[in-house]
Structure 1
Amino acid sequence: MYKVLLIEDDDTARKQLAKFVQKERFEVVQAENGRVGIELFESEHPHIVLTDLKMPDIDGMEVVHTVKRLSPETEIIVFTGYGEVDTAIAAIREGVLDYLKKPIDLDALSMALGRASEKISMRHSEQLYPHILLAEDEETPRIRLKRILEKENWRVFDVSNGEEALSTFISTKMDIVLLDIKMPKLDGLEALHQMRAINDDFEAIIFTGYGDEHSAINAMRCGAVSFLRKPVDLDQLIATIEKALEKLYRDRALRYRTRELELAKQILAHITDEEEVILNIHKNVVEQSLTFAQKLMDSIPTPVIVINKDLTIIYMNKSMLEALDFTPKRIDEKLLENLKNLGIKDLSIEQITNAIDILFLEPGKLEILKTGAHSLITLTLITVVGDVKEHYVLMAMRGERSA
């Protein structure tokens, strides 16, 4: 379990956020101001720091500077109020992972914490064990299933009815939910419906008895990834859970990469205060603007490449350069071979050129290239306005999970 240091001077907000972070399966240490936060950071050595930017005495930026000086690898997420976006972007230049606007959107916080956990686990080659909720009202098969699933190194929470399933789901973040269709107090279909209304970041598998096929189909419409008939075949169950986990990790990775691409676009767009990525670079500011943009992009932990339509490389950020053993001039087979060091394995020149063609036809969209079980590349079009308008493609990469 990763440890989170939460620094927030508003007592009510801090306690509510701490409760949510604990639900997300983190240990939480709370600090009521920046000074106490720095002291706790030095004594508790947290993996992640959540801090408000605007605080009395020692503000969030000073916390950021201190944390990064003492522990450059610590992931930091900052909270910003109205009018503090400039400061938030400056914080990202200092190595902050993400910023969240107040009032805090809990889904956005969950995603930021997920991104931070992913980076920590990949950096240290640690495996994150999934949490599974098992809801089955018959005691003997429930105990048997729990024992089998725990042998797979999965954390299993077993309950005997739908109300207990919903209560456990509310209190602890789950990755996979196993639900019997027919349960006392609250049936599986209604429990799934209420769970989806609370949180959509999980996959569900339904157990059905003879004659329950219609209910199983309704469960699939409510977002269940699969259903299994009882008595449950154990090999089939494990295989189905593994496929569900693969889908869950892939969907999370897509959300994480999309957010990182949003941050990259915000940073670039911030140069000209435009919402779309248009760099207005005229002759008298070309060098200064490009240097500024490059410094901002270098602060993003995700490997990024900017290319021409002909696959010539215009720019690679620091994370990308560090991942390669040479400096390529264009997207070619040698570069694709080196990208395997990042976990980008199933990628071809044809895939990239096809994605670029689509972007030039539909400039406002994102193109996603799946390059492995959990790896992908996100592409988007950017425009540079100088003496002439030029278009480039920004590629953000996410390699295979280390586990």
Structure 2
Amino acid sequence: MYKVLLIEDDETARKQLAKYVQKERFEVISAENGRVGIELFQSEHPHIVLTDLKMPDIDGLEVIHTVKRLSPETEVIVFTGYGEVDTAIAAIREGVLDYLKKPIDLDILSLALGRAKEKINMRHSDNVVPHILLAEDEEIPRIRLKRVLEKEQWKIFDVANGEDAVSLFSHTKIDIVLLDIKMPKIDGLEALHKMREINDDFEAIILTGYGDEQSAIQAMRDGALSFLRKPVDLDQLILSIEKAIEKLSGDRALKYRTRELELARQIIAQITEEEDVIINIHKTIVEQAMNFAQRLLDSIPMSIIVIKRDLTLIYINKSMLDMIDFTPEKIDEKLLDNLKRIGIKDISIKQITDSIDILFNAHGRVETIKTGTYSFITLTLITIVGEVKENYVLMAVRGERLP
């Protein structure tokens, strides 16, 4: 279990957040101010730090600097109040993973914690154990199923009715739900509805007896992944759960990439609002160009190309080259076709040229083209000053699948 250090000076908020983070399957250590937080960080060595930005004595920025100096790999998430968003975005450019506006949206907090856990897992090659809720009112089949599923090294919670299933779901982070259609107190369909109202970050598999097929089909319309007839074929059940785990992992990864895009867009917008993005090649070309590239590439988790207005490429970064596996000379159909491999599907040359025209003619700061359910291309103007002053377009690409 990963350890989270929560630093929040408001006692009520601190207790509520600690309870929610525990529900998300993290161990929580709480601190009432930045000074105590730093002391706990040095003694407890948490994997993740959640900290308010505005606190008496030692503020959140000092906490961030101390944490990153002592342990650069520690993931940091900040809370920010009204008027502090620019500071939060600046903190992200310096290595903070995410920021959440107050009052805190718990779904966004869950997303941020998920992203942090994903990064830690990738560094340490840790295996994540899925948590599965089994709701079955017949005791003997329930015990049998639980024993079989536990042999797969999954964490199993079992209950005998729909009401207990919803109650457990509301207090525990559950990944996969196995729901019998017919149960006392609350049936499977109603339990599924109530769970969806609590959160949508899970997959459901319905267990149905003879004659309950219509209810099972309705459950699938309501978001269940599949249904299995009773008596349950154990091999088929395990296969269905494995598919559900795979789908849930993929959906979560897409949500994480979408959040990264959102943060990247805000960073680009902040940079371009602070000042025009200008590279002067009359003097100190190497220093200025490298500083500019570092500023963007370090803070934007996606592939980048720079093009002229006529779609000719003048720069392409390694991330993009690795994805397409060839060196294009301009934005053309061949390049767009290669981008389909990473989920950039619904995109045309016309969409790109229209967005570029808006940037040049309306002096827009940022244009975004939605290219799939979770994929986007973000465009912004940059200016290079040499013998003449010339505008170019920087394109940041985020696909639905990681390269």
Q: What TM-score does the superposition give when structure 2 sets the normalisation length? A: 0.83
Which position in structure 2 is the counterpart of 1:300? 299
CA–CA distance in 1 between the matches of 2:51 and 2:316?
A: 32
**Which runs of 4 or more aligned residues in structure 1 lie more than 6 Å from their structure 2 counterparts after TM superposition?**
283-292, 397-401
Which structure has the larger Rg over C-alpha atoms? 2
Deviations 1:346-403 (A, max 9, x none): x97363796653652775433259xxxxxxx9441303154665444312468769xx
**Is residue 51–residue 60 contact of structure 1 (8 Å, CA) maintained in 2?**
yes
Separation in 1 of the partners of 2:258 and 2:22? 25
Partner Cα distance (2:96, 2:115) in 1? 12
How far apart, in 2, do the equivalents of 1:59 and 1:22 lie?
24
Could you tell me how far apart the structure 2 residues matched to 1:128 and 1:301 are?
Answer: 27
Aligned to 1:365, what secondary structure does the other structure show? strand
Q: 1:152 Cα deviation (Å)?
A: 1.2
Tell me the residue number matched to 1:83.
83
Letter in 1 for 2:338: I
Provide the C-alpha distance between the structure 2 equivalents of 1:102 and 1:290, rounded to a whole number of angstroms.
Answer: 37
Q: 1:294 to 1:157 in 2, by over 3 A?
A: same
Task: Tell me by how many angstroms 1:291 deviates.
Answer: 6.2
Other-structure match for 2:315: 314
Alignment partner of 2:304: what SS?
strand
Whole-angstrom CA distance in 2 between matches of 1:90 and 1:392 = 20
State the alpha-carbon separation in 2 of the partners of residues 249 and 331 from structure 1: 21
* In structure 1, C-alpha distance between the alignment counterparts of 2:304 and 2:348, rounded to whole Å: 17
SS of alignment partner, residue 132 of structure 1: strand
1:87 Cα offset (Å): 1.1
The offset of 1:222, in angstroms, is 1.3
Give secondary structure in 2 for the equivalent of 1:20.
Answer: helix
| Cα separation, 1, equivalents of 2:248 and 2:201 | 8
TM-score norm. by structure 1 comes to 0.83
- SS of the counterpart of 2:56? coil
Answer with 240-249 or 34-43: which moved more: 240-249
Give the C-alpha shift of residue 335 in structure 1. Answer: 8.1
1:209–1:43 distance in 2 versus 1, CA, 3 Å: same
> Which deviates further from its counterpart, 120-129 or 284-293?
284-293
Alignment correspondent of 2:370? 366
Question: Counterpart amino acid of 1:306?
Answer: I
CA contact (8 A) 1:313 1:331 kept: no
Aligned partners of 2:24 and 2:110 also within 8 Å: yes
Q: Which residue of 2 aligns with 1:15?
A: 15
**Structure-1 separation of matches of 2:266 and 2:290:** 17
Distance in structure 1 (CA, Å) of the matches to 2:101 and 2:281: 31
2:99 aligns to what?
A: 99
3-state SS in 1 of match to 2:225: strand
For residues 212-250 of structure 1, the C-alpha deviation after alignment (integer angstroms, 9 at most, x for no partner) is 111111111211111111111111111111111111111
State the match for 1:180 in structure 2. 180
Please tell me the root mean square deviation across aligned C-alpha atoms, in Å: 3.1
Shift of 1:290: 6.7
Where in structure 2 are there 5+ consecutive unaligned residues?
Answer: 329-335, 356-367, 384-388
Q: Say which of 368, 374, 380 aligns to 1:383.
A: 380
Q: For residues 29 and 168 of structure 2, what CA distance do their matches in structure 1 show?
A: 23
1:32-71 equivalences in 2 (<5 Å): 32-71=32-71
3-state SS of paired residue (1:271): helix
Residue 39 of structure 2 aligns to a residue in which SS?
A: helix
1:138-162 CA-to-partner distances (Å, cap 9, x unmatched) read 1111111111111111111011111
Q: Partner of 1:168 in structure 2?
A: 168
Determine the structure 2 residue equivalent to 1:349: 338
One-letter amino acid of the structure 2 residue matched with residue 351 of structure 1: K
State the alpha-carbon separation in 2 of the partners of residues 311 and 131 from structure 1. 50
Please state how far the C-alpha of 1:293 moved relative to its aligned partner: 5.3
Distance in 1 between residues matched to 2:41 and 2:50, nearest whole Å: 11
Q: Quickly say closer, same or farther: Cα 1:143–1:293, change in 2 above 3 A.
A: farther
What is the aligned partner in structure 1 of residue 363 from structure 2?
A: none
> Which shows bigger deviation, 185-194 or 279-288?
279-288
Whether the aligned pair in 2 keeps the contact of 1:311 and 1:331 (CA below 8 Å) is: no
Distance (whole Å) between structure 2 residues aligned to residue 361 and residue 180 of structure 1: 53
Deviation at 1:282, TM superposition (A): 5.5
Contact 2:208–2:227 (Cα < 8 Å) also in 1: yes
Quick one: distance in 1 between partners of 2:235 and 2:263? 42
Q: Which moved more, 1:352-361 or 1:146-155?
A: 352-361
Q: Letter of the 1:221 partner, please give it.
A: R
In the alignment, the residues of structure 2 paired with residue 60 and residue 115 of structure 1 have an alpha-carbon distance, to the nearest angstrom, of 21
1:69-112 Cα distance to aligned partner (Å, 9 max, x none)? 11110000000111111211221122100011111000000000
The answer to whether the Cα contact below 8 Å between 1:303 and 1:398 also exists between their aligned partners in 2 is no
2:6 is matched with 6
Report the counterpart of residue 258 of structure 1 in structure 2.
Answer: 258
Query: How many pairs are equivalent?
Result: 371
| Partner residue, 1:235 | 235
Q: Is the CA contact (8 Å cut-off) linking 1:129 and 1:154 kept in structure 2?
A: yes
Deviations, residues 242-262 of structure 1 (Å, cap 9, x unaligned): 111111111111110011011
Cα–Cα, structure 1 residues 14 and 212, in superposed 2: closer, same or farther, change >3 Å? Answer: same
Q: 1:228 to 1:308 in 2, by over 3 A?
A: farther
